[in-house]
Chain A
Amino acid sequence: MTDNDTHDSVETDGGTATQPAQAHRNTNYLDEEVNILKPSTAFMRDHLRVVWTSFVVWALIVFGPVTLTAIAPGPMSQTMPVLGFPLHYFLVAFCAPTGALILAAIYARKRDSLDEKYGIDHSTPDTGGDTGGGPDDAAATDGGVEQ
């Protein structure tokens, strides 16, 4: 980790800061390279792990059944009991989109818990101010990034 702690932390957290939250506070994100294959911050490493895992699962759900159907059309297009669908049709037309929806919800939850782990609070976006405020942000000076 590069040691460029430029934040003189103005906010107190009552001593509950965890290791990752500490790492987050000590990171100046504007100095860390963005490269999807070489995550440079602890947060990004954790985030990308979630992203890539779910992406692989997604690819399997979306392109898996159709590929299997191409390889083994016989077994894949047997009629399902009760529902009456040919198996491949159901897997592709129903399960693939539904799977993507469920994955999306899982991802959004995981990302929320990452935020929590790193002590990030979205409910008050204007008071965090660690990376500097906007032009109309009165608090921009106290937590802003200094050179």
Chain B
Amino acid sequence: MMASFLVIGYVFKVADTEGMWVAGRGIGNIENGMAIGANWMSAASYLGLAGLVALSGFYGVAFIVGWTTGYFVLLIFLAAQMRRFGKYTAPDFVADRFNSPMARALAAFTTLLIAYVYSVGQARGMGLVGQYVFGLDIIPMIVVMMTITVGYLALSGMLGATKNMAVQYVILIVAFLAGVYVVGFSQGYSTILPQIEYGALFSELSRQFSEPFRANSYYLWVATAFSLIFGTCGLPHVLVRFYTVQNERTARWSTVSGLFFIMLLYWAAPAMAAFGVDLFAAVNNISPDAVYNGEQAMSGAEGDVIVVLAAQFADLPTWFVGLVAAGGMAAAIATTAGLFITASSAVAHDIYSELINPDATQRQQVLIGRATIVAIGALVTVTAFNPPALIGELVAYAFSLAGTVLFPMFFLGLWWENTNRQGALAGMTTGLLLWIGSVVNSVLPAYVGFLADIAGGPGQAIIPIYAQYVPPIGAALIGTPLVFLVTIAVSLVTPEPPLETKKMVRQCHSPEPMGQQQSAEDIVSNSGGETPADD
């Protein structure tokens, strides 16, 4: 088992060095679509999604809906305009659009929080898969895998990793689909279309698998899907991909193909979950209902690796199980790498050199960046030992933060030119407080003694009604509209933004084609001659 995993790891390395064929901004929509897919699919998609569907039943489907259909909103409202604006990190966009270092700091802080929460899910996934493959305890496994990831990043940076997204996508999707097809075929569940054929299995599964709103209410379902949808539109690492294409038209079409490539996995994940649950019952010799209740019920950790477990239960050769496991590992490592880079640039560039020390040298920035990676790596590792939720749910916390704080800034910033600095600051602060409040209220009492005392027990929320309507996983359903309102209200009562800024927004919506290397700022500063193009 170990050997097979190492072999696959070696194959990955080869693929990595060959990934140099993706060139500059000349990427077409198919490759970019694959890159969107690879960038997007983390351990949460690869492992967590099937785990959620297996364990949470119909509620898990909210994650499928949230993580796919959000791309449509992104496409119609943000993709092309963001491409035209020309800034592609959240702090850069917010700072330039709202002319405010403070807004930059808030956005950078949010980015850092997102990276941290998101990575905990990934680290957990790496640990679980590693534990499964190497047979060690989960805690040493998380430490080892995170050390490898952090070490690799701190030394080499993202240089290699961004070059081979399309290759990564192919490896990831082949591993996953091979798993679904082979398990389905060898167990007699399906032949050519497991994505639809798993329906026949429903009569054999426990009713809990499909029963609507069994454990979670309709409100939570909608809140979760809503958060994931608008979180997708607020996540900076998704928007980056639109900057790498030739023109806006390619940006639009690559969103379409990206969504298709993502759905290849999302169509198959519930099938894998259904196979896994059925096999779980068969292998453990329990009734379908006992998967969810009683002593032999499926644990959270088992659910999170159901994709790998299904392959194992189906008695497939170890090298094949290793392949499926390696796909999950690759997804987790690639995403963690991307997140840590985002976090380190938020700290080193946006917080340190823009705010704390404007005279920072390159050397200092790199140093701060590396220190951030190591620090956040350590923090993530420790948190992953005893996470508050399943992989997919952990990642969803990050989405609800992005949907609450960043999405309204992107949307209003691009679609309403009168959104101003004061509005943005007020809106972002409101969103951050709301989300942090929600986490402190519902998640932290499980860890922090005195909060648990206030809440009256480790599993309780401090303010139950707040936890019910603003759960961390679905905070955006209340949060996003609230942030919109605050931003608009404050923008209306304070002075309008300068003409320069308004023109930048207008340029984002002009249908006029732009040059490949141009940003809205270049064009505005050239057209009016009010300011020289100083940067």
How far is B211's CA from A119's CA once the two chains are assembled, in angstroms?
A: 52
With beta carbons under 8 angstroms apart, the residue of B64, B218, B263 that contacts A70 is B218
How many Å from the CB of A69 to the closest CB on chain B?
Answer: 5
Task: Kindly identify, within residues 19 to 57 of chain A, every residue whose CB is under 8 Å from any CB belonging to chain B.
Answer: 24, 29-36, 43-44, 47, 50-51, 54-55
Does the CB pair A104–B255 fall under 8 Å?
yes
Report if A125-B533 is in contact (Cβ < 8 Å); known contacts: A94-B196, A98-B263, A134-B522: no
Tell whether, in the assembled complex, residue B518 and residue A55 are in contact, meaning their CB atoms are under 8 Å apart. Answer: no
Bound form: Cα–Cα A134–B517 in Å: 8
Would you call B222 and A66 a contact (CB within 8 A)? yes
Classify the interface of chain B: helix, strand, loop or mixed: helix
What are the 10 A-B residue pairs with the smallest beta carbon separation, nearest first?
A29-B510, A85-B199, A100-B69, A125-B513, A84-B199, A97-B68, A70-B218, A36-B415, A134-B518, A83-B199
Closest to B250 in A: A122
Contact count A vs B, C-beta below 8 Å: 204
Q: Are B533 and A83 in contact (CB under 8 A)?
A: no
Q: Which of B65, B256, B418, B527 sits near A62, CB closer than 8 Å?
A: B65
Q: Quote the shortest CB–CB distance from A113 to chain B (angstroms).
A: 12
> A135, B212: Cβ atoms under 8 Å?
no
Question: Interface code B495-535, partner A: CB below 8 Å = 1, 0 otherwise?
Answer: 00000001101111111111111100011101111000100
Contact B212 A69 (CB under 8 A): yes
Beta-carbon nearest neighbor of B528 in chain A: A147
Complex alpha-carbon distance, A144 and B530, angstroms: 15
Is A30 a contact partner of B225 (Cβ separation < 8 A)? no
A130 to B515 alpha-carbon distance, docked (Å):
12
Number of A residues whose C-beta is below 8 Å from B? 74
Q: Give Cα A126 to B246, complex, Å.
A: 12
Chain B CB within 8 A of A1 CB: no
CA distance A121 to B523 in the complex (A): 18
Contact of A120 among B71, B221, B513 (CB under 8 A): B513
Q: Is the CB of B71 within 8 A of A63?
A: no
What are the residues of chain A within 8 A of B450 when measuring CB–CB? none
> Contacts A73-B213, A93-B61, A125-B247 given; 13 further ones with Cβ under 8 A?
A34-B417, A51-B76, A67-B222, A85-B210, A92-B64, A98-B263, A101-B256, A104-B255, A122-B249, A131-B527, A133-B526, A135-B522, A147-B529
Q: Which residues of B contact A131 (CB under 8 A)?
A: 507, 510, 512, 523, 527
Q: Select A30's contact among B58, B72, B195, B510, beta carbons within 8 Å.
A: B510
One digit per residue, 1 when the CB lies within 8 angstroms of any chain A CB and 0 when it does not, for chain B 201-234 equals 1110000001111000010011001000100000
Report Cα–Cα, A73/B512, bound state, in Å: 50
A115 in contact with B416 (CB, 8 Å): no
Using Cβ atoms and an 8 Å threshold, which residues of chain A touch B510? Answer: 29-30, 131
Query: Is B200 an interface residue, CB under 8 A from the partner?
Result: yes
Contact present for A101 and B263 (CB under 8 Å): yes
**Nearest CB to that of A143 among chain B residues?**
B512
- CB <8 Å contact, A108 and B72: no
Q: Is the CB of A44 within 8 A of B199?
A: no
Establish whether residues A128 and B76, one from each chain, have CB atoms under 8 Å apart when the complex forms: no
Can you give 16 A-B contacts (C-beta < 8 A)? A29-B509, A29-B511, A32-B506, A33-B417, A34-B509, A54-B72, A55-B76, A62-B65, A66-B222, A84-B200, A88-B58, A107-B75, A108-B253, A118-B511, A134-B517, A145-B527
Which listed residue, B76, B199, B229, touches A54 by the CB 8 Å rule?
Answer: B76
Measured between beta carbons, the chain B residues less than 8 angstroms from A70 are 212-213, 218
- Give which listed residue, A35, A51, A63, A86, contacts B210 with CB less than 8 A: A86
The B63-84 residues at the A interface (CB cut-off 8 A) are: 64-65, 68-69, 71-73, 75-77
Rounded to whole angstroms, the CA-CA distance of A132 and B73 in the bound complex is 30
